[in-house]
Amino acid sequence: MTAAVLSPLIPFRSRRPLPGFGLSLGLGMAWLGVVVLLPLLALAVRAAGLGSDGWLRAIHDPRVQAALKLSFGAALVAALLALVAGAIVAWVLVRYRFPGRRVLDALVDLPFALPTAVAGIALTAIYSGNGWVGRFTEAAGLKIAYTPIGIVIALVFIGLPFAVRTVQPVLEALGHEQEEAAASLGASRFTTLRRVILPELLPALLTGFSLAFARALGEYGSVIFIAGNKPYATEIAPLLITIRLEEYDYNGAIAIAALLLAASFVCLLAINAIPSLFAHERREKPHG
């Protein structure tokens, strides 16, 4: 039964067959406006009010530049690593059956459920000089905690569920038909992976990467413990915002925050644009 069939049956004359449009949209928008949009608007307006002078001063600060470089660089590396690790985990979870598979599947969400501060102190304890892993790596000359490597590890931890959970449903839906077709036409396993599976997975991989990158760029709690927070070396941009705030340098904090917010917008736009981009490409190919 569709809306068109049922609407004449509805007792009172109403353009919309279901009730509550004004109420639900009105209250929903009020909630969105007060909780999310108004605060973000405050930042946008204050950032616009900085003027070219304020912006130049903020951006030319070498400490800000170092923090932004570190944040973007570490987020990029971590999102790529999380994507590779996540794709392997998703593949194994979807394609193979082995004891403990469901437990492994449930554990994927742990970084999502574990509070970031908890993850932060745990990772620091593991990778610092006397930690379970750190003592071996430092004996071998590799310092992890309080270096950018530690930051990347924390960000991979945070990004992993995003990568797994975007790739997994696509792999599940992929089925075997196309692979069977490719194989029966003589394609090797590697060719099938490269020419059949990867193109199908590409939108999900890009989405997973964007999600992990956006999350990593803004991440604070899991990073600040393991980072060491040395200015110019291991100080991430979100931390520098809080430092500027504590110094009552509001304009300095606003400038960094506005840049991070702009980067979030770009990530969000990319995530939203990815499906339609690929749908377009597929329409153009007659038998794709």
Partner 1 sequence: MADSNVDGALHSPTWLRTALIVLAVLIMLGLVVLPLLMVLGAAFGEGFKAWWAALREPDARSALRLTLFTAAIVIPVNAVFGTLMAWAVTRFEFRFKKLLLSLIDLPFAVSPVVAGLCLVLLFSTTHGWFAGLLETWNVRILFARPGIVLATLFITFPFVVRELIPLMQQQGSDEELAARSLGAGAWTMFRRVTLPNIKWGLLYGVLLCGARSMGEFGAVSVVSGHIRGLTNTLPLHIEILYNEFDSTAAFAAASLLSGLALVTLIIKFWLEARHGDALAKTHRRH
Q: Which of residues 268-287 bind partner 1 (CB under 8 A)?
A: 268-269, 271-272
Contact 42, 120 (CB under 8 A): no
Smallest gap from residue 286 Cβ to partner 1 (A): 26
Stretch that binds partner 1, among 60-68, 201-209, 217-225, 279-287 (CB under 8 A): 217-225
Rounded alpha-carbon distances, angstroms, from residue 287 to 183, 186, 202, 284: 19, 20, 19, 9
- Distance between CA atoms of 72 and 216, rounded to whole angstroms? 9
Residue 123 is a binding residue for partner 1 (CB under 8 A): yes
Q: Which stretch binds partner 1 (CB under 8 A): 141-149, 179-187, 199-207, 279-287?
A: 179-187
Instruction: Look up residue 251 and give its amino acid.
Output: N
Task: Pick from 119, 144, 204, 212 the residue near partner 1 by CB under 8 A.
Answer: 119
Which position among 189, 194, 195, 230 is part of the footprint of partner 1 (CB under 8 A)? 189
Please identify which residue in 55, 63, 77, 179 interacts with partner 1, judged by CB under 8 A.
Answer: 179
Which range binds partner 1 by CB under 8 A, 53-61, 200-208, 227-235, 241-249? 241-249
Q: Between residues 185 and 286, which has the closer beta carbon with respect to partner 1? A: 185
Give Cα separations from 50 to 55, 113, 240 (angstroms).
6, 38, 18
Q: Which of 60, 176, 280, 285 binds partner 1 (CB under 8 A)?
A: 176
When asked if residue 156 is in the footprint of partner 1 (CB under 8 A), the reply is: yes
**Cβ 234 to partner 1 shortest distance, Å:** 16
Residue 282: CB minimum distance to partner 1, A:
20
Scanning residues 249 to 268, which ones bind partner 1 (CB under 8 A)? 250, 253-254, 257, 260-261, 264-265, 267-268
Distance of CA 274 to the CA centre of its chain: 14
d(CA 251, CA 50): 7
Q: Which residues contact 208 (CB under 8 A, 6 or more apart)?
A: 82, 83, 86, 162, 163, 164, 165, 166, 167
Residues 129-148 that bind partner 1 (CB under 8 A): 131-133
The count of residues in the chain is 288
Would you say 215 or 285 has its CB closer to partner 1?
A: 215
Site for partner 1 in 46-105 (CB under 8 A): 46, 85, 88-89, 91-93, 95-96, 98, 100, 102, 104-105
> Nearer Cβ to partner 1, position 272 or 286?
272
**Distance between CA atoms of residues 172 and 231, nearest Å:** 45
Backbone angles phi, psi at 191, to 5 degrees: -60, -45
C-alpha 223/C-alpha 264 separation (Å) is 18
How many Å separate Cα 238 from the centre of its chain?
16
- Using CB under 8 A, count the residues that bind partner 1: 110
Determine if 118 is a binding residue for partner 1 (CB under 8 A): yes
SS3 call for 3: helix
